[in-house]
Amino acid sequence: MKIIQMKYTLIVLAGILACSTIHAQNKVAPNKEHFITNPILKGFYPDPSICRVGEDYYIVNSSFEFYPGLPIFHSRDLANWEQIGYVLNRPEQLNLDSMRVSGGLYAPTIRYHNDTFYVINTCVGRPGGGNFYVYATNPAGPWSNPIWLKDAPGIDPSLFFDDDGKAYYTGNGRPADNTPDSKKRHIWLQELDLKSQKLVGERSIILVEGAMHDASNAESPHLYKKDGYYYLMIAEGGTGDNHSVTIFRSKTIRGLYESDRKNPILTHRNLGKNYPIACTGHADLVETQNGQWWMVLLGVRPYGGFHYNLGRETFIAPIIWEDGWPIACPGEGKVLFKYPQNQFAYAPVKIHPEKNEFNADTLSYEWNFLRTPRKQFWSLTERKGYLRIHLLPEVISDLVSPAFIGRRQQDTSFTASCKMSFTPKSASESAGLNLFMNKDFYLSFQKTLRNGKEVLVVTKRFNGKETEIAAKEYSRNNLILGVYAKGQDYGFRVSSDNIHWTTIADKVDGRTLSRTNAGGFTGAFIAMYATSSGQSSSNYADFDWFSYSETK
């Protein structure tokens, strides 16, 4: 086993070094005190799933309608995480065309078996979608094309490999006698034959409503085996402030599963909406190489009231075992912002620079598109050292893939800016920044043409209704656009030298970007965006750099 593990580690290291750009998404400097700081993945990184191979840990997250799909991270100490790629990063793997808001890739599960990584996932809202899995020998990729599973209802599938090598699929589903508006779900299990790539054999309902104490939205069913018991852990209560984690066990894989009398083993719904971490749930367990246990889970950081623009983030919490059951957050009963980490060597990762200079030939991992891009509207080579974005007729308020290249908002207070060269040629053309939650909720800071004059315009779109907040004539071709936030107060400004700034709009209510208002399952993005608003255009905007940093 040591030889196999050494061989695997060398393969992973070679794969990671071969990646053209590897960047740390969680921009935290190395912590010499050896603490794990929550959230371990800041910003819109929900529904985490984790697996360990030797001394290496991997997390994969939901990505919904954003492309590439399913970001994957690596760590050796559970504190410092570095993105090593995406599971689905080729258009033939992922069709998000016309994907509805918060459709697309729901909760993935990552597992490792016989020198192979597997990620199983749901694509919601696409004809021919459903549940599928992919596999790879290197977690940095490439990953296979999706293998779609027939007759696999429900969402949030998971994989479990038993001691005899058999693979099992767990999922959720509607009981046959459910009313259409019922949120009751059952959990089912069936063997997955990896050779034929099909579900085979008997399907068993292993958890039903009564066992879950009238729980609602039972989902994210993960199986584990420890000390002769099979443990089934699920999320329930919905993904809002009633979210929770519950667990069950059985001597046999098909049940009957008994409920832990301490269920739910983790929830923050009893702490109220003023507690700084809320909506905790959708968890996955991992055992370290030293025999300790941890739980990764999603949570949110409300601010400015019960609003969380950052979306659902990835947190971590310690686990101990008592009387054959896991105890989450022992001695506290709630997730904390910091935990000591003295189990193994601290392994800091490369700190992602605040300023992206666009000097590489490919975009770094923090950048995402909205739905699958079918047109090559961007270039890093047409003007070396710049990101060129060609204007597309598609607009951000439609279910399309517009000329949008964005990164997550990761902090409650931040500054972001970009240096842009752009001369609009008609009133239909505009380019600049967009603070995007979804097509009906965003803040926009664009340069356009009005009555023959170049103008900077700040607009708000709330519940599908667009309102102009401010406009100012500004004729410079090269300009620096800036956005800043202090809590829920957002501001927009412009500069020609990055020193002297002119404020265009200040104290704009950022709750436009809150999931409480916008709904759905995603978080806020800050995007470079250019459009010709339904008209054909040969124009483009050049971005020299983009900078993002947290402010206190």
219 is catalytic: yes
Cβ atoms of residues 338 and 38 within 8 Å:
yes
How far apart CA 146 and CA 140 sit, in angstroms, is 16
Q: Which amino acid is at 49?
A: S
Q: Which of 47, 156, 411, 440 is catalytic?
A: 47
Report the 3 state secondary structure along 218-229.
Answer: CEEEEEEEECCE
How far apart CA 132 and CA 315 sit, in angstroms, is 26
Complete DSSP assignment for 409-451: ---SEEEEEEEEE----STT-EEEEEEEEETTEEEEEEEEEET
Of the candidates 282, 373, 294, the residue with the CA atom closest to the CA atom of residue 326: 294
How far apart CA 162 and CA 192 sit, in angstroms, is 12
SS3 for 354?
A: coil
47 is catalytic: yes
- In this structure, the strands spanning 540-550 and 413-421 are antiparallel
Cβ atoms of residues 428 and 532 within 8 Å:
yes
**b/e burial code for range 529-544 (CB count within 10 A of at least 16 → b):** bbbbbeeebebbbbbb
Cβ atoms of residues 389 and 405 within 8 Å:
yes
What Rg, from alpha-carbon coordinates, does the chain have?
24
Cβ atoms of residues 133 and 159 within 8 Å:
yes
Task: Compute the Cα dihedral for 144, 150, 151, 153 and give only its sign.
Answer: positive
How far apart CA 84 and CA 88 sit, in angstroms, is 12
**Residues found in the chain:** 552
Q: Which amino acid is at 156?
A: D
Q: Which of 219, 260, 394, 411 is catalytic?
A: 219
Residue with tokens 């329930």: 236
How far apart CA 545 and CA 356 sit, in angstroms, is 5
Cβ atoms of residues 522 and 395 within 8 Å:
no
SS3 for 341?
A: coil
Residues identified as active-site:
47, 219
